Amino acid sequence: MSTSVGTLRAETRDDSEFVATPTPRLSWTTTSSSPDWTQEHAEVRLDGEEVVELSGRDSVLVPWPFSELAERSTHTVEVRVAGSDGAMSEWSSPVTVRAGFRDTPWAAPLVGLDTPSRQAQPLLLRRVFAVSKPVRQATLYATAHGVYQAEINGRVVDDETLKPGWSAYGDRLIHETTDVTALVAEGDNAIGFSVAGGWFTESFGFRDGARPFYGADPAVAASLVIDYADGSSESVDTDGSWLATGESPVVASGIYAGESYDARLEKPGWSTASYDASGWAPVRIDGVPSATVTARVAPAVRPIQEVAVESVVASASGEQILDFGQNLVGRLRIRVSGPKGTVVTLKHAEVLEHGELGLRPLRAAKATDTYSLKGEGVEEWEPEFTFHGFRYAQVTGLESPLDPSDVTAVVLHSDMRRTGWFESSHTLLNQLHQNVVWGMKGNFLSLPTDCPQRDERLGWTGDIEVFSPTASFLFDTDAFLSSWLVDLDLEQKATGTGSVPFVIPNVLHDAATPAAAWGDAATVVPTVLHERFGDVDVVARQYDSMKAWSDCLLAISGDTRLWEGGFQFGDWLDPVAPPEHPADAATSPDIVASAYLYRSVSFTAEAARLLGRSDDAERYGAIADEVRAAFLAAYVDSSSVMSSDAQTAYATAIVFGLTADDAQRDAMGSRLAALVSSNDYRIGTGFVGTPIITDALTVTGHLGTAEKLLLETKNPSWLYPVTMGATTIWERWDSMLEDGTINPGEMTSFNHYALGAVADWLHRTVAGLAPAEPGYRVVRVAPRPLDALEHAKADFDSPYGRVSVGWHRDGDRVVVEATIPANATAEVSLPGSSETLTVGSGSHSWTVDALAVTA
């Protein structure tokens, strides 16, 4: 028997050695050939010397067991484990932990162009500095009102893009921490920044109401800290000694508009010490940021992959259209040649309509890049400070069409670690799941957005509220969503009422109105992060936010304990809603709102119990009971028929626990199944009902109905877009109509992840892999085979290691297989059986009668 430590991680960020706290939590996985292995104790070693023994099974987000780390110190951490088999493992491979955080308030001021000729003018900044003795390490801390890339001595400092991303700029700026030791040398050095407005100078709002929200001009604040070999240190901070120019080759740049680049304005060597900057001017000093500047904890945005042109389409007007075969988010990289001053124009679209780029869904977003050639042979270019959502692109302006091999789509998103996979014997279902994955990648760019292509791309709370369970299976989203929740808390506080704005960061002047299923992200997302990652700290940090939201709703409901009246999105994009009125759903918005009142108050009570706040737990628990009683009295009659006799009404009541007893729950399930059947198994739900309807059917004994609903291909259905060639999840069930025309609604997108939240049910129920305890310390193995499938399987890199659960048919039998990682256990509910088995780590297999599965 052998046991070894598989992976060791410090805190939750995978894409950098730097940690943002002096006490980073540690997590490790164990592999063992010993069945049913559990950890008895672990030893953690710092810098190969100091050893601390930790008793017990804890191996996920374990509190830092050593003294606090000093800023800019570098350490190694190792772990070894002893288990129930009595053997001690070898030490793990050492993991480097770098304390990059700032331990003092941010002091470097924001600097920019002193006299910009137009709003949001891109710029270049530089400063020369001398290094007179050997350097031990050099660390660059930088943030911005806008987006930037830094260079030292002519070399870019990292592969991140759109730094520092988007946060609640008025209250919080993120700073990047970058090791630039290899770029700094003794003698004269230069540091430079290329800067554009990004989200900071963008105009937000709808139609004619779009206005700049944060500021007019971009700026950067930076501190280059040089630690010398003799133990001394000095900083090169942004200040009045820096120089700036507005004559950047990036002539114009916007998130929505796109980017214009003039290669004739390039300044070779502009970030080197020898460059002649005599035409540059002293910078504008905006002062030290008023917002708190914090170290990045979420993964950075990076170029993640590249996609080649799949085919070339001749447009109806005779232009060349490039099809990448996948709706994606990023930008184009082109190789071109031609006369000096030739302007190459790049247009982007998600779909084609009438043989041309389908541009109407972009609304006011131009999504157009231009490149002006310098006329010196083959030139290669990729925009730097913008991004687009597209499958199709049109490149014009050259004397002859580009060779498709000279155009590449560069995919951008936050650099999260992929953790979850699903596959089955059903081709369309597999494509649906792939569409969910691509939709998430495209919309997890700095923050969880609603869409990546039109003049919006905002952090809508409703979308992530319903999608967070799916997201937390597909990728490690703990750090990403934890960071976003900090901004939610800040924007919530800014309302002064406990209300959570529709979008986070909040850039809409009328978004602070409480709205069910949107503001409830304040309680739902922390609950999901605890359930999926075992992260208690995020619940503790967000607890006041959870309470504030619940109290806000309780103030609205008053003694009735019902949330009725006022503005609501309701069951947004229910198929019965007309294109121009997506909130006109079959289910009453009062039912949706009151159901979410119950859910948020219940989650707040659970959080209080988790954190040992017994008084709050008792209070909110009692109120939740009152809300349930009021809900049943108001909306459910003695025959268990709801006042809104609609699918979402029953689904929310069943899944949220708004039933008096099992008999009422089952009666509601029967009525729900009848409604689905009478609708020919086509979708009859919107944002609220869609993520949970298959669960409601399953738990009330109607798995067959859920299967027919899942696998229906007629419009509206999950698979209808797949039959229409979709490669991401659409915003509307019929974003494209059967005749190939775009939905006539003013609002439509072909890359929205919300309606793909059904993937969580595929993972948990069809494949059968779910958490039975937070962080998958106990895995629930409970596959429910669908008649139309021959097999299904889910794989998940849990905090304890790889979990695999699946099933396949073998004649008249169904074989269920599961692999459970070391230090975890599983509760097994086999199809057709009411018995629950408990098993330990290792590989397991069970065979059941196929007839019993469907009985």
How far apart CA 513 and CA 139 sit, in angstroms, is: 43
* Long-range Cβ pairs for the range 148-151 (8 Å, 24+): 148/193, 148/194, 148/195, 148/196, 148/218, 148/220, 149/193, 149/194, 149/384, 150/178, 150/191, 150/192, 150/193, 150/222, 151/191, 151/192, 151/193, 151/194, 151/271
Helix H or strand E segment including 670: helix 662-678
Per-residue confidence band for 388, with pLDDT thresholds at 50, 70 and 90: very high
**Taking residues 671-690, what's their average pLDDT?**
98
Separation CA 420–CA 433 (nearest Å): 11
Beta strands 172-179 and 292-295: pairing type? parallel
| Residues 192, 155: Cα–Cα separation, whole Å | 10
Residues 6+ apart with CB under 8 A from 678: none
Cα–Cα nearest to 520, from 478, 461, 562, 563: 461
Phi, psi of 54 (to 5 degrees): -120, 120
- Closest by CA position to 390, among listed 362, 418, 431, 430: 362
- Report the largest interatomic distance among the alpha carbons of the chain, rounded to a whole angstrom: 85
CB atoms within 10 A of CB 25: 17
pLDDT over 90 at 103, yes or no: no
Q: Which of the pair, 580 or 815, is modelled with greater confidence?
A: 815
Inter-residue contact 443 to 751 (CB < 8 Å): yes
Compute the average pLDDT of residues 642-670. Answer: 98
What value, to the nearest 5°, has the Cα angle with vertex 816 and ends 815 and 822? 140
**Cβ–Cβ under 8 Å, residues 705 and 673:** yes
Of the two residues 579 and 155, the one the predictor is more confident about is 155
Q: What is the mean pLDDT of residues 257-264?
A: 98
**From CA 730, how far away is CA 716, in angstroms rounded?**
11
DSSP symbol at 762: I
- The Cα-based distances of 676 to 624, 643, 710, 736 in angstroms read 29, 17, 11, 23
pLDDT of residue 851: 76
Please give, one letter per residue, the 3-state secondary structure of 624-653: HHHHHHHHHHHHECCCCCECCCCHHHHHHH
Whether the per-residue pLDDT at 447 is higher than 60: the answer is yes
The whole-angstrom separation of Cα 640 and Cα 663 is 9
Confidence of residue 674 (pLDDT cuts 50, 70, 90): very high
Name the amino acid, one letter, at 269: G
Could you read off the pLDDT of 489-499 as tens digits, one per residue?
999 999 999 99
Alpha carbon dihedral 780, 428, 788, 739, in 10-degree steps, equals: 130
Per-residue pLDDT tens over the stretch 269-312: 999 999 999 999 999 999 999 999 999 999 999 999 999 999 99
| Tokens 């021959």 belong to residue | 790
For range 838-846, the mean pLDDT = 98
Nearest to 141 by CA among 298, 294, 303: 294
Is the confidence at residue 704, as pLDDT, over 90?
yes
List, for residues 192-236, the tens digit of each pLDDT value: 999 999 999 999 998 888 899 999 999 999 999 999 999 999 999
In this predicted model, what pLDDT tens digit does every residue of 454-508 receive, in sequence order? 999 999 999 999 999 999 999 999 999 999 999 999 999 999 999 999 999 999 9
Q: Which sequence positions are flagged as catalytic? A: 456, 731
- 855 has a pLDDT exceeding 60: no
535-556 per-residue burial string, b: 16 or more CB within 10 A, e: under 16: bbbbbeebbebbbbbbebbbeb
pLDDT of 474? 98
Q: Domains plus CATH for the chain?
A: 3-99 (2.60.40.10), 110-295 (2.60.120.260), 301-414 (2.60.120.260), 476-635 (1.50.10.10), 774-854 (2.60.420.10)
Distance CA 185, CA 135 (A): 7
Query: Per-residue pLDDT for 641 more than 90?
Result: yes
Residue 670: Cβ-neighbour burial (10 angstroms; 0-12, 13-18, 19+): middle
Cα radius of gyration (the chain):
28
> In this predicted structure, what is the pLDDT of residue 1?
59
Q: Is residue 412 a contact partner of residue 304, using CB atoms and an 8 Å limit?
A: yes
For residues 310 and 324, the answer to whether their CB atoms sit within 8 Å is yes
pLDDT, position 624: 98
Q: Which of 144, 253, 146, 149 is nearest to 199 (CA)?
A: 146
pLDDT tens digits, 391-439: 999 999 999 989 999 999 999 999 999 999 999 999 999 999 999 999 9
